[in-house]
């Protein structure tokens, strides 16, 4: 078979179709978001405009909901990490026999349908000690709950990739307590896993619609609620929002990865000396 730089034509074709399949919808959305007139039967718009973007950015409501979405997703991820990291570490290190049980429990919010989860959350949080139903805080609790399983799985998998128990023992024998060990040894060695878990959870929460809608309705618009409303009224705005959403997630991923690399330092490749 013909080869181009060691790759066969067939492989290039497969790759081409795969990428096209993934990129085409995004491309269509981007084009639609800057199209002015796009008649039936036209392969491409007749004229382009940025007015949908300008309109969107002039809309204070929209900007607030974007900020709100980012804020609540961010806080949920941070609280989720604070809960999951020590839990996963302790389970992995000292309570390994409990691991299947913990996995089972963390799966709970995952397997419950959104409606049931929402109803349960409203019931619990409408009376003391947490009378927060109808406020944005209930969303925070809901988001933390639904992000736990995924975070736990990603982080406990990263913990499995290092010898947590022996590293902990080594650290202890050198005089470190659990807290020193946790921050100086464990966290730096599972940073890629933490980044993965955070980014994917963050992106997932940004795109969450069911729970917001059920728990808060139109009281607190998040980006997704806004998007949903826009889809029913104005297709162009919906495309604009999707593009914004896409760019937001990309920027956050990029920034987090860069920042973390700066902190843990890039490992230079040095040939192994014998």
Q: Is residue 180 near other proteins by the rule CB under 8 A?
A: yes
How far apart CA 218 and CA 88 sit, in angstroms, is 36
The binder of other proteins chosen from 189, 210, 213, 253 (CB under 8 A): 189
Binding mask 96-135 for other proteins (x = CB under 8 A): ----------------------------------------
Q: Is residue 272 near other proteins by the rule CB under 8 A?
A: yes
Tell me the number of residues near other proteins by CB under 8 A. Answer: 25
How long is the chain? 274
Q: Is residue 263 near other proteins by the rule CB under 8 A?
A: no
Site for other proteins in 153-172 (CB under 8 A): 162-163, 166-167, 169-172
Q: Are 211 and 269 in contact (CB under 8 A)?
A: no
Of 168 and 224, which has the nearer Cβ to other proteins? 168
Q: Is residue 179 near other proteins by the rule CB under 8 A?
A: no
Least distance (Å) from other proteins to the CB of residue 195? Answer: 14
Q: Is residue 232 near other proteins by the rule CB under 8 A?
A: no
Of 44 and 263, which has the nearer Cβ to other proteins? 263
Number of C-beta neighbours around residue 68 at 10 A: 19
For 126-137, b where at least 16 C-beta lie within 10 A, e where not — what string? eeeeeebbeebe
137-141: which pairs have CB atoms within 8 A and are 24 or more residues apart?
138/215, 138/216, 139/72, 139/211, 139/212, 139/215, 139/216, 139/220, 140/72, 140/75, 140/76, 140/79
Number of C-beta neighbours around residue 185 at 10 A: 18
Binding footprint of other proteins on the chain (CB under 8 A): 162-163, 166-167, 169-177, 180, 184-185, 188-189, 264, 267, 270-274
């Amino acid at each position: 078979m013909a080869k181009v730089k060691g790759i066969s034509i067939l492989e290039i074709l497969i790759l081409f179709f795969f990428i096209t399949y993934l990129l085409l919808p995004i491309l269509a959305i981007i084009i639609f978001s800057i199209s002015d007139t796009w008649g039936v039967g036209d392969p491409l718009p007749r004229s382009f405009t940025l007015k949908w973007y300008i309109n969107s950015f002039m809309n204070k409501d929209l900007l607030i909901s974007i900020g709100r979405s980012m804020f609540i997703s961010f806080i949920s991820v941070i609280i989720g990490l604070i809960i999951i990291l020590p839990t996963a570490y302790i389970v992995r290190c000292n309570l390994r026999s409990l691991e299947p049980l913990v996995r089972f429990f963390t799966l709970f919010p995952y397997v419950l349908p959104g409606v049931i989860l929402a109803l349960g959350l409203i019931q619990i949080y409408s009376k003391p000690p947490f009378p927060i139903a109808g406020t944005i805080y209930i969303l925070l609790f809901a988001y933390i709950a639904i992000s736990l399983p995924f975070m736990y799985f990603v982080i406990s998998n990263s913990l499995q990739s290092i010898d947590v128990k022996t590293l902990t023992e080594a650290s202890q024998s050198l005089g470190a307590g659990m807290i020193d060990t946790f921050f100086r040894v464990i966290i730096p060695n599972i940073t890629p896993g933490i980044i993965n878990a955070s980014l994917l959870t963050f992106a997932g929460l940004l795109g969450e619609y069911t729970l917001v809608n059920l728990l808060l309705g139109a009281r607190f618009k998040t980006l997704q609620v806004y998007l949903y409303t826009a889809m029913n009224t104005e297709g162009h705005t919906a495309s604009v929002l999707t593009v914004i959403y896409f760019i937001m997630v990309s920027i956050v991923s990029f920034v987090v990865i860069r920042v973390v690399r700066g902190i843990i330092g890039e490992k230079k490749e040095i040939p192994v000396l014998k």
